[in-house]
Amino acid sequence: MSDKTILRALKGEVLPTPPIWMMRQAGRYLPEYRATRAQAGDFLSLCYTPDLAAEVTLQPIRRYGFDAAILFADILLLPQALGPKLWFETGEGPRMETTTTMAAVKALKSKDLIHETLSPVYETVRILSRELPRETTLIGFAGAPWTVATYMIAGRGSKDQGAAHALKSADRETFSALIDVITEATVDYLSEQVKAGAEVVKLFDSWAGSLKGADFEDFAVKPTARIIAALRARHPGLPIIAFPREAGQGYIGFARKTGADCVALDNSVTPEWAAAHVQVSGCVQGNLAPEHMVTGGEALVRETRKVVEAFRNGPHIFNLGHGITPDADPENVALMVQTVRNG
Ligand code: 1CP
């Protein structure tokens, strides 16, 4: 068995100190990230330049010695590889050519052609698997189909995912066809990341919380389960983390229904509740509120200890409940790491 702590936790081992990494650990709160990003020019050039993408992935590992590195890329690269144009408006966020009709879904590229666009991402993974310290686990990732579809349908981020919900109600056939295209392409995309050296993969379903009732089962649980089953058939034993953000009660049984080895938790659930209802069926990841990386101090130390304590009796990977924000103080991250490791 591997001695990498993240892999041990993912296999269900209860460790005396939880392994730790952080969502968006390579990001704008780090001066060295801002410098490399300036060198790349814009965000997408950074994603598609393997040496620079590998460099920013390594920066938080050098600074904090996190137990895992997450490939630097974005969930929107896969839909871009399917054809729609993608760009980032400065200070606003992503914009994408929309896919809202059956004709547009049919016009998407075949999944065999995505690798033409995505090959630099696989090269970044290969560089990282050579350059990471031997104790650090390399995590690859993709967006889950529902979350990716919300951007493809609206052409941008939105608070309520209204455009995707509207298409789901008005034209279920088109909506389901789009989910299927993304699901199949995601399997191939993640499979290439694994072949290039990713040791774990994570599915980000950032907007899972807006799917209710049967929709949650049909569009968060089922596509995730399909991706996991297909990946496991190709890569037996591959550890997989799923993040159905803000799933609430939907977290209960999510690992069992999808086959994920670990469920990542956001801050809408308390660690005590999650230990009792989610960690009972396997490894969990999370869930310190990212705000503490901005505010720091005694509250950071107290809340960090609370998370560690609540999950102490089961397999746990320490993380934030969502990505660290650009206004965070790098010193607070160091304090969190020290508190997790030294108590
Ligand atoms: O200006 C910059 O430097 C861009 C900021 C940024 C960064 C650092 C974006 C734009 N993406 C990323 C990297 C990124 N995105 C990673 C890299 C690995 C890491 O360090 O964690 C990952 C895993 C993502 C995943 C991602 N992108 C998600 C899912 C996770 C989440 O945060 O909920 C989503 C929803 C995106 C879309 C996206 N990309 C970028 C932004 C600002 C957004 C959100 C847009 C919105 O909905 O408003």
Note the ipTM here.
0.92
Would you say residue 293 lies in a domain?
A: no
Domain count, the chain: 1
* Domain region containing 101: 19-282
Whether 316 has a binding-site annotation, put simply, is no
Is 74 part of the annotated catalytic residue set?
A: yes
* Atom number, ligand 1, closest to the C-alpha of residue 70: 18
Would you say residue 341 lies in a domain?
A: no
* Bond into 287 cis (ω within 30): yes
Would you say residue 343 lies in a domain?
A: no
Is the distance from the beta carbon of residue 52 to the nearest atom of ligand 1 less than 6 Å? no
Top mutation candidate among 29, 59, 74 for ligand 1, by most atoms within 8 Å of CB: 74
The sign of the torsion formed by the CA atoms of 241, 245, 248, 254 equals: negative
- The pLDDT of residue 1: 56
- The pLDDT of residue 343: 87
Is the distance from the beta carbon of residue 226 to the nearest atom of ligand 1 less than 6 Å? no
Q: Which long-range contacts (CB under 8 A, 24 or more apart) does 239-242 make?
A: 239/7, 239/10, 239/11, 239/199, 239/200, 239/201, 240/200, 240/201, 240/202, 240/203, 241/10, 241/139, 241/200, 241/201, 241/202, 241/203, 241/285, 241/317, 242/144, 242/202, 242/203, 242/205
Is 8 part of the annotated catalytic residue set?
A: no
pLDDT means per 10 residues, the chain with 343 residues, are 90 97 97 97 96 98 98 98 96 95 98 97 98 98 98 96 98 98 98 98 98 97 98 98 98 97 97 97 97 98 98 98 98 98 93
Distance 74 CA to ligand 1 centre (A): 6
Among 288, 315, 333, 7, CA closest to 139: 7
Would you say residue 308 lies in a domain?
A: no
Would you say residue 327 lies in a domain?
A: no
Is 232 part of the annotated catalytic residue set?
A: no
CATH number at residue 259: 3.20.20.210
Whether 171 has a binding-site annotation, put simply, is no
Would you say residue 232 lies in a domain?
A: yes
For ligand 1, atom 20: residue with the closest CA? 24
- The pLDDT of residue 290: 98
For ligand 1, atom 11: residue with the closest CA? 74
Is 151 part of the annotated catalytic residue set?
A: yes
Angle of helix 222-234 relative to helix 172-196, nearest 10 degrees, comes to 30
- The pLDDT of residue 90: 86
> CA 323 → CA 76, 93, 182, 274, distances in Å?
16, 15, 23, 19
For ligand 1, atom 24: residue with the closest CA? 74
Is 63 part of the annotated catalytic residue set?
A: no
Would you say residue 13 lies in a domain?
A: no
Would you say residue 140 lies in a domain?
A: yes
Contact between 178 and 117 under an 8 Å Cβ cutoff? The reply is no
268: Cβ contacts below 8 Å, ≥ 6 apart:
209, 246, 248, 321
Is the distance from the beta carbon of residue 225 to the nearest atom of ligand 1 less than 6 Å? no
Top mutation candidate among 75, 86, 124, 322 for ligand 1, by most atoms within 8 Å of CB: 75
For ligand 1, atom 42: residue with the closest CA? 93
Among 97, 22, 81, CA closest to 48: 81
